[in-house]
């Protein structure tokens, strides 16, 4: 493909305008991945478009923001226990967006400062470092949140802990199930489990009246506690290896770990 001709045709400008069909879009997206020149050209076009749109700004009335946030609250579904059930992936942006926007506003402030005085380059260095530290602080905070909540479950008397020990298939493997018989909540943690290929996943089963019941799938890379499907009754828990996504019946010959529920 002749990259220059492709770019000169104006297809990227049509792409950022949002005018291509799904098929045309997919083709452009492929080319963005394949050719760094196209990716760079696209970036510049997008920035120019953004700056144009900023120049064409019109302020909306201030009450519009309230209405949007009200609508979002309505959309945020909550289950019977007050837990937020559906959540779009804004967590990806909690860090990136706030840091990026904070950085932009601090850089804009610097540019203004430039107009009137000479800028100490150390000041810029410090500001950038500050943003990096803020980003790391946020990451650490999130990790601590998760550890705290996992600890609460693990130490709670309402949860019965079942140790699942390794079978002959995997004598060294160990995993734990935390089960709250009254709320039916189940959490799983791995002590030691073998790495699996991409095609497979581990699947947890509850043994109820001698029959296996699916409790959910998980990966060997799991850290901390993972919330699984609810279980009303179980005499034992076991883990098998299934193809990714899980199976309706367990491949018992692959059983990795199993443990009996000991009621306290």
Partner 1 sequence: MVKGLHQKNRAAFDLLYNQYKGALYGSIKRIVKNEDVAEEVLQDAFLKIWNKIDTYDREKGRLFTWMLNVCRNLAIDKLRSGEINKESKTDSLENSVSKVETTVQIEQSTETIGLPESLIQLPEEQRFVVEFLYLKGYTQSELAEEFNIPLGTIKTRLRLAMVQLRSIYQVS
Q: Applying CB under 8 A, which residues contact partner 1?
A: 8-11, 13-19, 29, 32-33, 42-61, 64-65, 67-69, 71-72, 75-76, 83-84, 87-94, 97-98, 101, 145-146, 148-149
Nearer of residues 82 and 210 to partner 1, judged by Cβ: 82
- Provide, rounded to whole angstroms, the least separation between the CB of residue 250 and partner 1: 30
CB distance 3 to 37 below 8 Å:
yes
Nearer of residues 47 and 123 to partner 1, judged by Cβ: 47
Nearer of residues 62 and 121 to partner 1, judged by Cβ: 62
Nearer of residues 151 and 262 to partner 1, judged by Cβ: 151
Nearer of residues 51 and 233 to partner 1, judged by Cβ: 51
CA dihedral 17, 18, 19, 24 (to 10 degrees): 120
Half-sphere exposure of 155 (CA within 13 A, CB side): 6
* Separation of alpha carbons 157 and 153, rounded Å: 9
The SS3 call for residue 35 is coil
- Provide, rounded to whole angstroms, the least separation between the CB of residue 198 and partner 1: 20
Tokens representing residue 71 in the block:
């609508």
CB distance 247 to 203 below 8 Å:
yes
- Provide, rounded to whole angstroms, the least separation between the CB of residue 217 and partner 1: 20
- Provide, rounded to whole angstroms, the least separation between the CB of residue 147 and partner 1: 10
- Provide, rounded to whole angstroms, the least separation between the CB of residue 142 and partner 1: 8
* Separation of alpha carbons 216 and 245, rounded Å: 9
* Separation of alpha carbons 158 and 153, rounded Å: 9
- Provide, rounded to whole angstroms, the least separation between the CB of residue 175 and partner 1: 22
* Separation of alpha carbons 159 and 261, rounded Å: 11
Nearer of residues 71 and 233 to partner 1, judged by Cβ: 71
Nearer of residues 25 and 229 to partner 1, judged by Cβ: 25
**Which neighbouring-strand residues pair with 125?**
none
Query: Which one-letter DSSP state was computed for residue 119?
Result: P
- Provide, rounded to whole angstroms, the least separation between the CB of residue 2 and partner 1: 15
Phi, psi of 2 (to 5 degrees): -85, 105
CB distance 163 to 174 below 8 Å:
yes
Scan for tokens 């009137």, then name that residue: 116
């Amino acid at each position: 493909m002749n990259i220059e001709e492709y770019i000169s045709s104006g297809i990227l400008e049509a792409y950022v305008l949002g005018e291509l069909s799904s098929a045309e879009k997919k083709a452009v997206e492929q080319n963005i991945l394949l050719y760094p020149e196209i990716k760079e050209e696209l970036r510049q076009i997008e920035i120019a478009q953004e700056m144009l749109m900023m120049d064409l700004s019109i302020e909306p009335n201030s009450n519009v923001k309230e209405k949007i946030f009200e609508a979002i609250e309505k959309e945020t579904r909550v289950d019977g226990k007050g837990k937020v059930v559906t959540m779009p992936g804004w967590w990806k942006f909690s860090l990136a967006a706030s840091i990026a926007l904070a950085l932009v506003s601090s850089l804009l402030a610097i540019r203004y400062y430039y107009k009137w005085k000479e800028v100490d380059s150390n000041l810029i260095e410090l500001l950038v470092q500050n943003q990096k530290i803020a980003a790391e602080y946020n990451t650490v905070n999130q990790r601590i949140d998760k550890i705290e909540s996992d600890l609460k479950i693990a130490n709670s008397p309402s949860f019965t802990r079942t140790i699942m020990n390794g079978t002959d298939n995997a004598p060294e493997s160990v995993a734990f199930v935390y089960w709250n018989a009254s709320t039916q909540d189940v959490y799983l943690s791995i002590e030691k489990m073998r790495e699996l290929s991409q095609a497979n996943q581990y699947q947890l089963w509850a043994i109820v009246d001698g029959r296996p019941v699916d409790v959910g799938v998980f990966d060997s890379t799991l850290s901390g506690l993972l919330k699984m499907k609810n279980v009303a009754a179980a005499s034992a828990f076991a883990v098998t290896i299934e193809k990714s996504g899980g199976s309706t019946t367990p491949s018992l010959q692959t059983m990795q770990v199993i443990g009996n529920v000991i009621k306290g």
